[in-house]
Structure 1
Amino acid sequence: MSEALSQAVPAISPEASTERRLHPLTLLLNLARQLPQAIIGLIALRLSGPDELRGWVALIAFVAVVALFGTELWKWWRFSYRLDPQELRIASGIINRNVRSIPYERIQDVNLEQGLLARVLGMAKLRLETGSSGSGDEGVLDSVDLAEAERLRDVIRLRKAVQAGVAEPEASSALASAETETAPVFEMDTRRVLTAGVFNFSLVFFAVVGALVNNLDFLLPGDIWNPRRMLDLFGFDDLFAALDIAARILSVIAALFSLLVIGLLGGIIRTGLREHGFRLDRTETGFRRRRGLITLTDVVMPLHRIQAAVIATGPVRRRLGWFELKVHSLASDSDKESDHSVAPLAHEGEVRAILGATGIRWDTDYPAMRAVDPAMWWVPLAFALPVPMIGIGISATLANPWLALLYALVPVVPLICWLQWRAHRYALEGSQLYVRDGFWAQRLTLLPLRRVQSVDIRQNAVSRFIGLSEVQIGVAGRTAPVTIHALPLDDALALRSRLLGVH
């Protein structure tokens, strides 16, 4: 079979069954990932370490770089892969050796990923998934030449098709048609990507600053977070002291507005880097998604591995007619998430067109769905709210009377809980379950009953006393279950019977 297969695919060379190593520049990529942390450690040792070691920093740095390079070189030399007629073999390990054999018929997905440096160097990461877990780490070739990565992907897909019983000419034809560029199912231009960034408010800027401060805190004075010091640092201390109360309030509002602007810019930048060039194509087996400005990912999502769909939106986005569609798949995304975004910002018609290919329906929405018991919002308040109210009173009495102003925020908590209860609804229409969550970040989960793995009915002491329960629905590969809160016990039992087909 292997000889005929070699004739079917000219890209398979006679040396395909020989041991191969990763691209030599893998060393450069691995060193680039590890050197920044090592450099920060050496700076810390030079500035705040023991006096007797500060003079040896240069020597320590030299030894560390040599040791790091030697270790990475040894790891690279000991890592190899081989395309056998029936399986892919990956050998790794410096001292403890591990040889992993992955039959082609077990491979579900073959995905490519390129970081910025890898794109500059013309390399790619090849991910193999067998369905044994959702981690995406069943087989990884970290850095191979881009042409070699594409060749490996084609060879593995073709050999998988042949092992599955597809005739070789048909498999070759299917592979050729999969590689042929057709009109995409969905794509995003620059304007839509920027629009999506506006809705993806992000304070990633402050997360980056926080990470830098966490690693470089030895360079900062101990009172850096003192507000007075911050004002004095920027020359605003005297100005702020001269302002009256109204001006101070306006300055605080201006600071909050600046925070809003930074969050919007952070969302736009983060979304632009992730979703640039977003393109979703229909393949013989499912979807192929390509996106990314710095890190370019090429992911295949077979339809048979898609378990459920999630439509995300919000009050503003919904009024403007925008939705985000994700599919929950047994395959993992490049960032180790099981929810693949297949349409980050789409209109209703575009969402329905993509769902049509998956066989998942969107037949109902909020008005036609059933509400859960109102106890969902008032029971937690009855037990949780008195504690912070007492704490505020004690703090205002013992520390600062101005803390009593926090009581003005207390009514906001019941309002948020009430809105969350109003947003939480469910419906069971035919062979599909609909579960809606969230007032501001709205999520509508579409779950076909054939994908339900388990149903748990949970009660704590309070819910058991008032006759309510929580239904948790397990889905294959999903860490968190789909949950319906505050259902009467009889309704929960009836729902479980329908979900599991028990009559």
Structure 2
Amino acid sequence: MSDTLDAPAQLALPAEQTATERRLHPLTLLLNLSRQVPQMIIGLVALRLSGPEELRPWVALMALLAILGMFGFEFYRWWRFSYRLEPDELRIASGVFSRNVRSIPYERIQDVNLEQGVFARVLGLAKVRLETGSSGSGDEGALDSVDLAEAERLRDVIRLRKAQNTAEPDQPGAGPAEVAADRIDAPLLFAMDPRRILIAGVFNFSLVFFALVGALLNNIDFLIPGDFWDPRRLLDFLGLDDLFAALDMAARIASVIAALFGVLVIGLIGGIIRTFLREYGFRLERTETGFRRRRGLLTLTDVVMPLHRIQAAVIATGPIRRRFGWYELKVQSLASDSDKESDHSIAPFATEAELRHVLAETRIGWNTDYPAMRRVDPAMWWVPLVFALPVPIIGLGIAATLASPWIALAYAALPLVPLASWLHWRAHRYALVDDQLYVRHGFWNQTLILLPVRRVQSVDIRQSFVSRYIGLAEIAIGVAGRSGAVTIQAIPLGEATKLRSMLLGNQPGAWS
């Protein structure tokens, strides 16, 4: 179909032409039924194969009645749902048995985003997502689904009226031309071609294939014999029992290694497929008010991120990805992403030069790196071991004594625990440079948080019983739009107090 989220939208209509009651597109019924029918079919198949004998002949009739009932309910719900653009607010009425009328003032709407799934793209529909920041959910005022042209028109009208209602009395509000400029002829900041997406997929190892198979087996477990997962039963089912019995120990070990290699290959393929589905056609454009991001192969999303909503930036990488010079740039916004996350990925797989080019548009600096940042106290890695490591040591000893001596081989893996804790401590650093806080976490999944001091909402100093005894503290920094606090662990209490004063603006000067 030629209509996509890239198509130009119709001009915003005057107020007298928009304050009318409107309903979702009638094909919304088809989309809602397509989500429910598969679950109903699985239930009817289970009833047909494993249900009581007296009910099995009636499965076809029950299926027909279920479909008619679902269609009737969805039709009535669609008929009861309506929306209207008032001069000062968007009004949404819904409810089957009880009526709910929601009024959303335009000045409270933070973002208006469009989303198209695979079936919606075929049918020329789109979902309109309104972000108000009232509850942290991405569906405070979702319209699912409307005609694509109507979705574009709604986005233009809401943005226009929001700009007009929030304009200063002595300043004119934005007009249709300014609103449309946010998505027409916007300069391109970053894009990913298929080759870049393929390379990114190799680094995004994923076992989602096994998760999908597990979910499928969980839904059809009534068709699987009880002893299906017994190793001997599996070998017999695959016709490999005699072959496996004839193999010596070396060949069996080789077969296990081959199976692990197969898992690795499937993980690589799964990562590539998952990355292509999410990042295909990725484009980041610079609009007059912020960023516009479009991506997705099956589900196409079109998200606008105003610059004044961006609170912080996050640079993510890893030891292997960093070795090859690849990074991911996210921004933390007051509005949630289409995946209901506060982090918007604006450069999923970029070089350092590309990342700095995009980051410069956010007015957030990247002026320091790992070697120049301050380390936290070594107690961060050894104190948890003192309390946690004796538990598995004693548990393995008891299990080896009571069950099997072979369990004692697990002691060989225990040195990995302090090694992982030490690497985690070594990677955790922080710095305060030019009124901006830098906090680094993680050895394998490395994240560098870039937080302007002006965006700090609160600073808490936390101490446990042990940390009080050794004179250390943890700082928790609250940031608007972030699900959790930015934390700096295991720093001396005096330094924590000084850092808190500097972050809250009570003490001038640079961190030394």
TM-score bin (small chain): over 0.9
Structure 2 residue 420 is matched with structure 1 residue 416: yes
Q: Residue 292 of structure 2: SS of its match in structure 1?
A: strand
The match for 1:374 is 378
Inter-partner Cα distance in structure 1 for 2:233 and 2:360? 59
Normalization by structure 2: what TM-score? 0.93
Describe the shift of the 1:330–1:101 C-alpha distance in structure 2 as closer, same or farther (beyond 3 A): same
Inter-partner Cα distance in structure 2 for 1:10 and 1:264? 46
Give yes or no for contact 2:331–2:345 (8 Å, CA) kept in 1: yes
Inter-partner Cα distance in structure 2 for 1:284 and 1:136? 24
Give yes or no for contact 1:108–1:131 (8 Å, CA) kept in 2: yes
Among 245, 251, 263, the alignment partner of 1:247 is: 251
1:237 partner amino acid:
D
1:391 partner amino acid:
G
Inter-partner Cα distance in structure 1 for 2:325 and 2:398? 48
The match for 1:41 is 43
Inter-partner Cα distance in structure 2 for 1:433 and 1:227? 54
Normalization by structure 1: what TM-score? 0.95
The match for 2:327 is 323
The match for 1:122 is 124
The match for 1:5 is none
Query: Which digits, 9 at most, give the CA deviation of each residue in 1:34-66, with x for residues without a partner?
Result: 111121122222222333333332222222211
Structure 2 residue 472 is matched with structure 1 residue 465: no
The match for 2:6 is none
Inter-partner Cα distance in structure 2 for 1:162 and 1:168? 7
1:256 partner amino acid:
L
Inter-partner Cα distance in structure 2 for 1:113 and 1:350? 27
Q: Residue 18 of structure 2: SS of its match in structure 1?
A: helix
CA RMSD of aligned residues (A): 1.7
Query: Which digits, 9 at most, give the CA deviation of each residue in 1:95-120, with x for residues without a partner?
Result: 21111112222221110000000000
The match for 1:401 is 405
Inter-partner Cα distance in structure 2 for 1:32 and 1:85? 36
Query: Which digits, 9 at most, give the CA deviation of each residue in 1:47-90, with x for residues without a partner?
Result: 22333333332222222211111111011000001112222111
Describe the shift of the 1:311–1:207 C-alpha distance in structure 2 as closer, same or farther (beyond 3 A): same
Inter-partner Cα distance in structure 2 for 1:51 and 1:403? 49
Structure 2 residue 179 is matched with structure 1 residue 175: yes
Inter-partner Cα distance in structure 2 for 1:86 and 1:417? 55
Query: Which digits, 9 at most, give the CA deviation of each residue in 1:388-407, with x for residues without a partner?
Result: 12222222222222222211
The match for 1:62 is 64
Give yes or no for contact 1:193–1:271 (8 Å, CA) kept in 2: yes
Query: Which digits, 9 at most, give the CA deviation of each residue in 1:391-439, with x for residues without a partner?
Result: 2222222222222221111111111111111111111112111111111
Higher mean alpha-carbon deviation, 149-158 vs 288-297, is at 149-158
Among 481, 486, 493, the alignment partner of 2:485 is: 481
Q: Residue 229 of structure 2: SS of its match in structure 1?
A: coil
Give yes or no for contact 2:182–2:289 (8 Å, CA) kept in 1: no
Query: Which digits, 9 at most, give the CA deviation of each residue in 1:443-502, with x for residues without a partner?
Result: 001111111112222222222222222211111121211111111222222221211223
Give yes or no for contact 1:133–1:477 (8 Å, CA) kept in 2: no
Deviation at 1:235, TM superposition (A): 2.3
Higher mean alpha-carbon deviation, 202-211 vs 87-96, is at 87-96
Among 415, 425, 430, the alignment partner of 1:426 is: 430
Structure 2, gaps ≥5 residues long: 1-9, 508-512
Q: Residue 181 of structure 2: SS of its match in structure 1?
A: helix
Inter-partner Cα distance in structure 2 for 1:306 and 1:254? 47
Give yes or no for contact 2:115–2:300 (8 Å, CA) kept in 1: yes
Q: Residue 188 of structure 2: SS of its match in structure 1?
A: coil
Higher mean alpha-carbon deviation, 59-68 vs 268-277, is at 59-68
Describe the shift of the 1:490–1:475 C-alpha distance in structure 2 as closer, same or farther (beyond 3 A): same
Q: Residue 330 of structure 2: SS of its match in structure 1?
A: strand
Q: Residue 139 of structure 1: SS of its match in structure 2?
A: coil
Q: Residue 335 of structure 2: SS of its match in structure 1?
A: coil
Among 17, 26, 38, the alignment partner of 2:19 is: 17
The match for 2:369 is 365
1:306 partner amino acid:
I
Describe the shift of the 1:240–1:12 C-alpha distance in structure 2 as closer, same or farther (beyond 3 A): farther
Deviation at 1:9, TM superposition (A): 4.8
Higher mean alpha-carbon deviation, 362-371 vs 52-61, is at 52-61
Describe the shift of the 1:449–1:243 C-alpha distance in structure 2 as closer, same or farther (beyond 3 A): same
Inter-partner Cα distance in structure 1 for 2:14 and 2:200? 42
Higher mean alpha-carbon deviation, 238-247 vs 306-315, is at 238-247
Aligned-pair identity in percent equals 72
Structure 1, gaps ≥5 residues long: 1-7
Among 439, 442, 450, the alignment partner of 2:443 is: 439
